[in-house]
Amino acid sequence: MIHPTTARVLAAELPGHIGESIELCGWLHRRRALKSVTFLVLRDRSGLAQVVAAEGEADIPEETVLRIRGTVTANPQAPNGVELTGPTVELLSGPAEAPPFSLYRPTVPATLPVILDGAPVTLRHPRLAAPHRISAASVAGFRAVLDGLGFTEVQTPKVVSSATESGAEVFALDWFGRPAYLAQSPQFFKQAMVGVFERVYETGPVFRAEPHDTTRHLAQYTSLDAELGFVTDHRDVMAVVRAAVAGMVEAVAARAAAAVELLDVELPVVPAEIPQIHFAEAMRLLGADEPDLAPAHERWLGEWALREYGSEFLFVVGYPMRKRPFYTHPEPSRPEYSNSFDLLFRGLELVTGGQRLHRYEDYLGALAARGESPEPYAAYLRSFAHGMPPHGGFALGLERWTARLTGADNIRRTTLFPRDLHRLTP
């Protein structure tokens, strides 16, 4: 029931209400019984508030959901310089169990599996919730930039009839008796929608049945995708990547300032022009000769870019065609390389993108060259049969972004409910 006379005030808003009688709602974060006084620390979506309680209220268990009415009183010793005094405490619901560890201690005394197993409650710890606030702000920033550049947001099916990313494994499922797959990316749909809207983006789940047990792979992750028409080549796409990433950093600073401070996050500077290196040149520097970058190569290049350009971001352009999907546009003067790129952030691949083929006959040729039948791609190929402009796009892995930003040692720390080789619950 909402009390008709007192309006709910959030913990972070208390300093603006000194002397007023107000209502706070939240969870009992911490109970501190001192000799002469008991403090209840209440947690709500904005932060923490101190309440000076009566003696009997000292035995309410932590995580009890409370509605507290009282007077906002200045106290320089209290957090934020205010506390609630003379409270009336109403219990809205009590916990049936204690959390696996104390949620009020500044550090988290638990291993990753304990945190993930108990996610519905462990994520209440402010330090464990903070990365997800940063993720949310990042997505808001991504949307704001692309909306501003005339992109239309789309939602596309996550159950599809053919694989979209050659090389990545698919999850097969039964769709009313027909074979189907969980979408590995919105690649085909976003390209098709260039034919309708010219510029589209999507933020949503994608699925990779990769049996990788690493700190940077998930079987389901969040892909921030964009695709735009009428590009000259991949460089136009890279300019949009740069704008999107800069907007994400800005939005994190503006919308998740408390989380940034709590985690001591060092926000990166996104250079006006992100430095770039050609794949062939990168291989020369690395003294290697391989068709793709290994994680150690990415780390090395990340450090190199920091040394050479003072940049935490580096575009690697021109990956060999044989390691890129069939829709990739070749580099016109060196067709063994491609008009594609990866963006490395702090030594890890964050974005993949590039220019695509756009002529129908080029698709038929590319599939034939790879020994693939056009049949499973019939629906995809229709876009090209009806005229498509030169276009390109990219996808950014949200969980990797947040992990790199917050210094998390494992992508699972930036995923609410990770899905991987071993984990299907909670």
- Tell whether residue 397 is a contact of ligand AMO (CB under 6 A): yes
Is 217 a binding residue for ligand AMO by CB under 6 A? The answer is yes
Would the annotation count 58 as a binding residue? no
Site for ligand AMO in 220-239 (CB under 6 A): 221, 223
Nearest-approach distance from CB 352 to ligand AMO, in angstroms: 3
Rounded Cα distance between 345 and 315, Å, is 9
Any binding-site annotation on 322?
A: no
Are 329 and 355 within 8 A, CB to CB? yes
Burial of 333 (0-12, 13-18, 19+ CB in 10 A): exposed
- Check whether 218 is labelled as a binding-site residue: yes
Q: Would you say 347 or 354 has its CB closer to ligand AMO?
A: 354
Residue among 26 and 393 whose Cβ is closer to ligand AMO: 393
Is 13 assigned a ligand-binding role in the annotation?
Answer: no
CA distance 126 to 30: 13
Residues 6 or more apart from 150 whose CB is under 8 A from it?
A: 198, 199
Q: What SS3 class is residue 336?
A: strand
Q: Which of 135, 352, 355, 414 touches ligand AMO (CB under 6 A)?
A: 352
Member of 87, 353, 390, 418 binding ligand AMO (CB under 6 A)? 353
- Give the nearer residue to ligand AMO in terms of CB position, either 20 or 198: 198
Interface residue with ligand AMO, options 11, 248, 351, 405 (CB under 6 A): 351
DSSP secondary structure code for residue 3 in this structure:
-
Task: Calculate the alpha carbon distances from 247 to 147, 150, 206, 255, 407 in Å.
Answer: 11, 15, 23, 12, 20
394 binds ligand AMO (CB under 6 A): yes
In the numeric block, which tokens belong to residue 176? 């009313």
Question: Which contacts (CB < 8 Å, 24+ apart) does range 259-267 have?
Answer: 259/129, 259/130, 259/131, 259/133, 259/134, 259/137, 260/134, 262/126, 262/127, 262/130, 263/127, 263/130, 263/131, 263/134, 263/406, 263/407, 265/134, 265/405, 265/406, 265/407, 267/405
State the nearest-atom distance from the C-beta of 365 to ligand AMO, in Å: 20
d(CA 138, CA 248): 5
Rounded distance between C-alpha atoms, residue 65 and residue 78, angstroms: 22
**Would you say 55 is a known binding-site residue?**
no
Residue 111: exposed, middle, or buried by beta-carbon count in 10 A (0-12, 13-18, 19+)?
A: exposed
Smallest gap from residue 384 Cβ to ligand AMO (A): 16
Work out whether 50 is an interface residue with ligand AMO (CB under 6 A): no
Q: How far is the CB of 323 from ligand AMO (least distance, A)?
A: 11
By beta-carbon distance, which residue lies closest to ligand AMO? 397
Task: Judge whether 397 is annotated as a binding position.
Answer: yes
Residue of 135, 187, 203, 402 that binds ligand AMO (CB under 6 A) = 187
Nearer of residues 20 and 349 to ligand AMO, judged by Cβ: 349
Annotated binding site for ATP: 208-210, 216-218, 349, 397-400
Annotated binding site for L-aspartate: 165, 208, 352, 356
Annotated binding site: 165, 208-210, 216-218, 349, 352, 356, 397-400
Residues that bind ligand AMO (CB under 6 A): 165, 168, 185, 187, 208, 210, 217-218, 221, 223, 349-354, 393-395, 397, 399-400
